[in-house]
Amino acid sequence: MKTRKLGNSGLEVSALGMGCMNLSFGTGPAADINDGVATIRAAVERGITFFDTAEGYGPYTNEKLVGEALEPFRKDVVIATKFGFKLENNQITGVDSRPENIRAVAEASLKRLRTDYIDLFYQHRVDPNVPIEDVAGALKDLIQEGKIRHYGLSEAGANTIRKAHAVHPVAAVQNQYSIWTREPEAEVLPTCEELGIGFVPWGPLGTGFLTGTIDTNSKFDEGTDLRANFPRFSQENIRANMPVVEMLRAFAAKKNTNPVQIALGWLLAQKPWVVPIPGMDKIAYIDDNIKSVDLELTAEDLKEIDEQLSKINIQGDRLDAGLLSMSEE
């Protein structure tokens, strides 16, 4: 497996990371814990060293799964987790990045992850009630104590990134980014490049849409699948956005590959400090996704994809209104 460095942080990870959320939460029923452990360990065996989780996934259950799965390999892997949601009765009810909560979450996450340090600790969403300088200051303290090694921001805008970085260097920014969600290109990616910050796209496969396995007959259970409330996954918008998948299929056919590898390869080709973290809840998905690391897309390929995309008008917000309100776009 090829590796990449997340900006100037010194944090080196596999070129493709593993988003672990779907094993416990988000796009359907949770996996059996033994199956989940086996899937994560299969990723390790295939050279993946970068694993992404959060206290909010489950909540809590995904960190426990990741902790159990990676305990035998702890020194060889990089674990990223997140703080910043307010959790009440196992439900996300808002945001909370008060310094005392950051510390409490760090201590609890360390126990669930069965480790004495967190490699990368993200603020999951910007908290409008807590100055980002205070957040960065609390994280700087945890770094000095050795409880975390690096910190990052998720769904943060360029101004927030700059303010945090001035207090203590930000190692990585994790925002949604893919062929059909390109907002970071305007300000966030240039800011990361300027400041030497790594970028970790979540939802690199469009929360499943770019795989080509979703159509207007697809059903999303409101109780277990977040996409049931994502505007882009209404039947009307799925139908309107199918040209994106058709373009990926046609391009993949020319490259003798599939839409998944084109979508991931496109991200990898953007910058050498971009490390996508597709959700991989089946070993077959891991085997398919990692082939993208060796896919070569030329400047002409990227230009052709951009030209095709420019003719498609993507319909629907990428997230539901509640999650959008907790993002700083």
Q: How far apart are CA 207 and CA 292, in angstroms?
A: 17
Q: How far apart are CA 325 and CA 93, in angstroms?
A: 13
Nearest Cα neighbor of 208 from 182, 166, 245, 172 is 245
Q: Which residues contact 304 (CB under 8 A, 6 or more apart)?
A: 251
What tokens were used for 227? 């996409």
**Pairing state between β 18-19 and 12-14:** unpaired
Judge whether 169 and 315 are in contact, CB under 8 Å.
no
Which long-range contacts link 35-38 to residues 24+ away (Cβ below 8 Å)? Answer: 36/65, 36/69, 36/281, 37/65, 37/68, 37/69, 38/283
- The single-letter code of the amino acid at 247 is M
Nearest Cα neighbor of 104 from 130, 85, 131, 127 is 85
Q: How far apart are CA 79 and CA 311, in angstroms?
A: 39
Q: Of 57, 60, 177, 285, which one is the catalytic site residue?
A: 57
Nearest Cα neighbor of 209 from 182, 181, 240, 245 is 245
57 is catalytic: yes
Q: Is the bond preceding residue 59 a cis peptide, omega within 30 degrees? A: yes
- Return the active site residues: 57
